[in-house]
Amino acid sequence: MSVTKKPFGQMADGTPVDLYTLTNANGLQAKITTYGGAVVSLVVPDRGGKLADVVLGLETLEEYVEKSPYFGCIAGRYANRIAKGKFTLNGVEYTLAQNDGPNHLHGGNRGFDKVVWDAQEKSGDGAGLGLTYLSRDGEEGYPGNLSVKVTYTLTDDDALRIDYLANTDADTIVNLTNHTYFNLADGGAGDILGHELMIDADRFTPTDSTSIPTGELRSVAGTPMDFRQLTAIGARIDEDYEQLRFCGGYDHNWVLNSAGGSLALAAMVREPVTGRVMEVHTTEPGIQFYSGNFLDGSITGKGGKVYRKHHGLCLETQHFPDSPNKPNFPSTVLKPGEVYQTTTVYRFTV
Ligand code: GLA
């Protein structure tokens, strides 16, 4: 196991940005940059033992700053959407950036994906990297100084484990996730429609046409949202189902049967050609499955791969979108003295 570090460039204001390489006992390797805490590459074996990169990403810091559609990043302070960029807490209305049509997305104009994190190498099981960031009171419109720590560990049982910790000095809202785009076949050269997916959820949160949940928890039974059995992602993606039409594929939150709280299997992806399997375990109550609908060939990534529609998939473990405006959803409020603590594990097998 090892952790090494090299410079990845610097921000316009001169802040240096690093790229860390985590290698586990079996030779799996993750590269993570302090810019947005983004996973830049993740190398895992196929059924023949052949190692290859299974995530989408860019070659340079400049490209991440200019055009990354949240590749690999830590999304926050509130990952996913808040309707109209407004929420009320303790009787006070807060206004956030409307950076996704009428809505707030992934923390705003300068969310946790666009800041430079402080890094500390971590010893223990596998290869670890701790990233910390202090989000000041009022930053992007959110109340409270929020101190965040995200620890990435490439474990010796071949998992990328992500532990999230946060605390605040005033009541606030928090929802943190990782936004890696996976393609277990070829790292994004082709599409993910042949990948098979299982999501352990009987219900999902249908949305309006701007991807804000209506508040309903709808049964997946009899719909193209039913992934309770491993099913090819492309099998039903073009069905004439309003929820799929709204966003050109899958971009929804599933209500996990485990309901969150303790680490449980939430989803599994199997790529039949390479035999690669990824299990997603989480303590979170929800997962956003996004089928890379907005990739349109305008971004060329690592190794000259052109990322077209559906060339990557995200499984973003989270609390449900727009929870601050949905009293029936699990709460995303964090108060002083409380600890926000969640864990997500992406485990690779064949
Ligand atoms: C999330 C959202 C998608 C899209 C991507 C980034 O997954 O749910 O709608 O915005 O981020 O392109």
pTM of the model: 0.98
pLDDT at 260: 85
Q: Which atom of ligand 1 is nearest to the CA of 211?
A: 9
For residue 115, report the distance from its CA to the centre of ligand 1, in Å. Answer: 18
Q: What is the CB < 6 Å shell around ligand 1?
A: 69-70, 80, 105, 211, 251, 288, 290, 294, 314, 316
181: closest CA among 36, 42, 8, 342? Answer: 42
Tell me how far apart the alpha carbons of residues 172 and 155 are, in angstroms, rounded to a whole number.
32
Q: Which atom of ligand 1 is nearest to the CA of 100?
A: 10
Question: Pocket of ligand 1, candidates 251, 307, 311, 318: which has the most ligand atoms within 8 Å of its Cβ, to mutate?
Answer: 251
For residue 290, report the distance from its CA to the centre of ligand 1, in Å. Answer: 7
Q: Which residues are tagged catalytic?
A: 179, 316
Question: Pocket of ligand 1, candidates 103, 104, 177, 294: which has the most ligand atoms within 8 Å of its Cβ, to mutate?
Answer: 294
Question: Pocket of ligand 1, candidates 250, 290, 291: which has the most ligand atoms within 8 Å of its Cβ, to mutate?
Answer: 290
Q: Tell me: the pLDDT tens digits for 181-237?
A: 999 999 999 999 999 999 999 999 999 999 999 999 999 999 999 999 999 999 999
Inform me whether the pLDDT recorded for 122 exceeds 90. no
For residue 170, report the distance from its CA to the centre of ligand 1, in Å. Answer: 29
Q: Tell me: the pLDDT tens digits for 224-255?
A: 999 999 999 999 999 999 999 999 999 999 99
For residue 336, report the distance from its CA to the centre of ligand 1, in Å. Answer: 30
Inform me whether the pLDDT recorded for 333 exceeds 80. yes
Asked if 135 and 142 count as a contact pair (C-beta separation under 8 A), the reply is yes
Asked if 190 and 95 count as a contact pair (C-beta separation under 8 A), the reply is no
Over residues 118-147, mean pLDDT: 94
233: closest CA among 190, 281, 203? Answer: 190
pLDDT at 123: 75
Q: Which atom of ligand 1 is nearest to the CA of 70?
A: 6
For residue 42, report the distance from its CA to the centre of ligand 1, in Å. Answer: 21
For residue 124, report the distance from its CA to the centre of ligand 1, in Å. Answer: 34
At position 178, the amino acid (one-letter code) is: N
Asked if 287 and 197 count as a contact pair (C-beta separation under 8 A), the reply is no
Q: Which atom of ligand 1 is nearest to the CA of 294?
A: 12
269: closest CA among 285, 250, 283, 284? Answer: 250
Sheet architecture: strand order including 251-255 = 218-219, 203-205, 251-255, 286-290, 314-318
8-state DSSP, 180: P
Going by alpha carbons, the residue nearest to atom 7 of ligand 1 is: 290
Over residues 24-33, mean pLDDT: 97
